[in-house]
Structure 1
Amino acid sequence: MSEIPWWGLPLVAVVFALLGAGLAVLFQARDRFARARAARTERWYSERRDAYVALLAQFERSAARLRLALDSGQPMPASHLYLDETGPALMRVRLLASGPVRSAVMAVHLLLEKVYAPSVTPPPGVDSAKAVREMLGHVPLVMQELEAAVREELEIRLTPPPALPEEPPGRSLRLPSRKPKEPVES
């Protein structure tokens, strides 16, 4: 007869079952935390990306409206129209953006606000329309700085990621690609 008590084996089984259940709960909690963190990161990127795209599009529309008015000889759009259209997108970006992006956004905004101003004061001897065109010519340059700041914040690269290294022929888990057989010449 063995010296192990009759209740020893069930006790060991219960201990290991509780240990296994505890580890399962621990791994589930870790997985939930990792998924929540990934979701927060994705939301962070998508909120900022959407806000930046909306504001950049609004800046482009405003500049295009000014160019169209200047080219067609129509009166300049009212400044309150620019502020009403750009204000919501601008506030959203100001709340979400980092310092460099916010500074670049404000540079573009102030330049467009100055162009939309009812009385642009040109230097002496320069036509008002020419001064507006010149300031409007600076908008794309300032917007380039904004785009560069956005790319840096969102870590957007201009080049695609490098290709995956090829595996040695005998070690691949992928099925070999089938090449069409070349016709035999007779």
Structure 2
Amino acid sequence: MRVSQIPWWGLPVVAVVFALVGAVVAYLVSARNNDLLDRARRDRQWYEERKEAYCRLLAAFEHATHRLRASFDAGEKPPPPIVYLDQVGPALMPVRLLASGPVRSAALAVHLQLERLHGEMNPAGVVGVRPQTHFLELLAQVPLVMQQLEAAVRDELGIVGTPPKASLNGRARPRRAAELSEPGQESR
């Protein structure tokens, strides 16, 4: 009978080599998964930070615009610019730090428009322009400038105007034919 030519220590060496290779592969897969999870967490955090900052700023702008319109309708002078800056400043700073160029520019355009409205309305050098009319014209432009800011925010955050399609994987039920037909039409 023939005896194997493998030395007695060969089997333990092969086992150790495979164990080391397995440990290295497990470590690399674990490191890759951790990296992917960290990247997803950072992306989610990036999105949430910006969304929160933009929502706070838009709300502050809306509040300032409403306060200006209410004070004008009541016949009062607009609040002084320092009150406006105290209100909007904390919401504007994170946007200035975190936002991309188009969003920052649009936010500063709205800010300058509102700051101008909080200042003295003196259309100097323009004959025939009343300060009240000038104020109302500038106030009417605020929603238009805010629309540009909203569009820039939607573009940066990747927000689309249509909802995602419903999935049929058991979580969402398919709509019945009667729900899909136009209102007032019978389903066939």
TM class, shorter-length? 0.7 to 0.9
Match of 2:154, as an amino acid? R
Matches within 5 A, 1:119-138: 119-121=121-123, 123-138=126-141
Aligned equivalent of 1:94, options 96, 119, 123 = 96
The offset of 1:8, in angstroms, is 1.1
The offset of 1:88, in angstroms, is 2.0
The answer to whether the 8 A contact 1:52-1:150 is kept is yes
| Residue equivalent to 2:156 | 153
| 1:71 equivalent in alignment to 2:87 | no
- Residues 87, 54 of structure 1: alpha-carbon distance in 2 compared, 3 angstrom cutoff: same
CA distance in 1: counterparts of 2:62 and 2:76, whole angstroms? 19
Structure 1 runs not aligned, ≥5 long? 167-171, 178-186
Structure 2 runs not aligned, ≥5 long? 174-188
| Deviation string, structure 1 residues 14-69 (Cα, Å, up to 9, x no partner) | 11111111111011100111111111111111111111111111100000000000
Compute the TM-score of the two structures, normalised by the length of structure 2.
0.83
| 1:40 equivalent in alignment to 2:42 | yes
Compute the TM-score of the two structures, normalised by the length of structure 1.
0.84
The answer to whether the 8 A contact 2:121-2:135 is kept is no
The answer to whether the 8 A contact 1:120-1:132 is kept is no
Runs of 4+ in 1 over 3 A off after TM superposition: none
Deviating more after overlay: 148-157 vs 8-17: 8-17
CA distance in 2: counterparts of 1:101 and 1:124, whole angstroms? 36
Match of 2:130, as an amino acid? D
| Residue equivalent to 1:107 | 109
The offset of 1:111, in angstroms, is 0.7
Percent pairwise identity: 54
Match of 1:10, as an amino acid? P
Q: How many residues align?
A: 168
